[in-house]
Amino acid sequence: MKSQTKRPANPKLVLLNKPYGVLSQFTGEEGDQTLKPFIPHNDVYPAGRLDKDSEGLLLLTNDGVYQARLANPKYKVWKTYWVQVEGDPSEEQLEQLRNGVELNDGMTRPAEAFVMPEPMNLWPRNPPVRERKSVPDSWLCLKIREGKNRQVRRMTAHVGLPTLRLIRAAVGPFQLKTMQPGEWRSEPPVW
């Protein structure tokens, strides 16, 4: 007989535009920037992670079952990233990303990958992304259904397109939209 996990009477889902340099947790070492100053709720927890040097959509919930459904790769929830890369992507490089690449911890699942214009209403990053006059940079939209550690950065590096800036724009049906860094909003959980 399966054990029943108690679901909260009032499930919450909080969407945060996590700023660059902030950890995806509420506590850290002295000097670390955490989620604590950005989220007024004390009963929600991140559903998945977003690296300290990545920006964008982070979902938080008070429902452990829902948290697992959003974060666990077995549920294959699409995650959409806007990726500024060094270089001008070739069709061959994009096809490698689409087919999956062999990383040191295994093959990635097939992804959606295409060149896109710089996102509209993009906020400046602090510190700014380094610019090299002799090397162009481009923006990619990359959609994956798993979440290996630093996966997007490792995928783009593997095909010769180092990541300069990484912004998660969507998780499943939830989108960043016009939220600025540090802004949050509540939405009803989609069961």
Q: Are residues 81 and 152 in the same domain?
A: yes
- Residue 4 resides in a domain: no
Query: Is residue 78 domain-shared with residue 138, that is, in the same domain?
Result: yes
Per-residue pLDDT tens for 171-187?
999 999 999 999 999 98
Looking at the structure of the chain, the number of domains it has is 2
- CATH classification of the domain holding 32: 3.30.70.580
**Candidate list 51, 63, 88, 105, residue with the active-site label:** 51
Domain-embedded: residue 155: yes
Torsion angle, alpha carbons of 60, 185, 175, 11, to 10: 50
Does residue 51 carry a catalytic annotation?
Answer: yes
Q: For residue 157, is it within any domain?
A: yes
**Domain assignment present for 5:** no
Between the CA of residue 76 and those of 18, 25, 146, 165, what are the distances in Å? 22, 23, 6, 24
pLDDT (0 to 100) of residue 5: 62
Rounded distance between C-alpha atoms, residue 129 and residue 164, angstroms: 6
The CATH number given to whatever domain includes residue 132 is 3.30.70.1560
Q: Which pLDDT score is estimated for 3?
A: 47
Below-70 pLDDT ranges, the chain: 1-5, 191
* Residue numbers of the domain that contains 131: 74-169
Q: At what angle do helices 151-158 and 91-99 cross, to 10 degrees?
A: 140
